[in-house]
Amino acid sequence: MTRFAITLEYDGRPFMGWQHQDHGPSVQQAVEQAIHKITGQDVRVFAAGRTDAGVHALGMRAHFDLETKLTPFRLSEGINAGLRPHPVAVLACDIVDDEWHARFACEGRRYLYKITNRRAPLTFDRGLSWQVAQALDATAMHDAAQVLVGQHDFTTFRSVNCQAQSPVKTLDSISVSRFGEEIEVEVAARSFLHHQVRSIVGCLKLVGTGKWSTADLKNALAAKDRNALGFNAPPDGLYFVEAIYPAASEPE
């Protein structure tokens, strides 16, 4: 039995999220079915994170165990063929140590949230970015966001359906940058609560429009109450960017 690690890119719009669901297709299901097509084996694929319905990934790391003589290159080519026409692609495939685990070995995760700040309707980026027609002050959003950096009780920014044992998380960094009409919010932490990034972005939008101040965001955090939340940003603009592992555990 060989353990393979893969890096996946996917458009989350056709899926109910990463994890298997009874009420619709999932990315996990699509990948497992593609592996079965090429190997005839039923496997379970474990990912570094669980994206929600409509959320995308640029570099989701995952692993599975397989009995095969296929090289990583041939295996990735076969999986990509089996994934068609799903908007999912294997970007890299490697053999890793039997003890390596995509989720439990992960030391950090990075997310990106894309906002298109314009009045004209989205065309190419519909479903891939959150359109906000009101003018946003990205500098004010960035400055306010810094109150969230560090270890805090993020109950306010946690879904009521979150299964994490504790609402306490450490946000390593958060930045808000403008590139023309595009605004990008980048967030990094070891792990996140369910809906944490979307909840943060929703509140930062209120800051950007002038409805909230930095003090309002700080008070929402201190409230430790979901009712103090501004609102959740939609899944459209959210991307899982990267899973970070100890250098010694990753293939060369």
Helix count (H) and strand count (E) of the chain?
Answer: 5, 10
What residue ranges define each of the domains in the chain, with the CATH number in brackets?
2-105 (3.30.70.580), 108-242 (3.30.70.660)
**Which SS3 state, helix, strand or coil, does residue 35 take?**
helix
pLDDT digits (tens, 9 = 90+) for 53-73: 999 999 999 999 999 989 999
More confident residue, 205 or 249: 205
Average pLDDT (170-184) is 98
Q: Which of 52, 94, 125, 216 is catalytic?
A: 52
Written as one letter, the residue type at 182 is: E
The percentage of the chain sitting over the pLDDT mark of 90, rounded to a whole number, equals: 91
Q: What's the pLDDT score for residue 163?
A: 81
Q: Is 52 one of the annotated active-site residues of the chain?
A: yes
Q: What's the pLDDT score for residue 160?
A: 85
Q: With contact defined as beta carbons under 8 Å apart, do 226 and 198 qualify? A: no
- Global pTM? 0.94
pLDDT digits (tens, 9 = 90+) for 226-247: 999 988 999 999 999 999 999 7
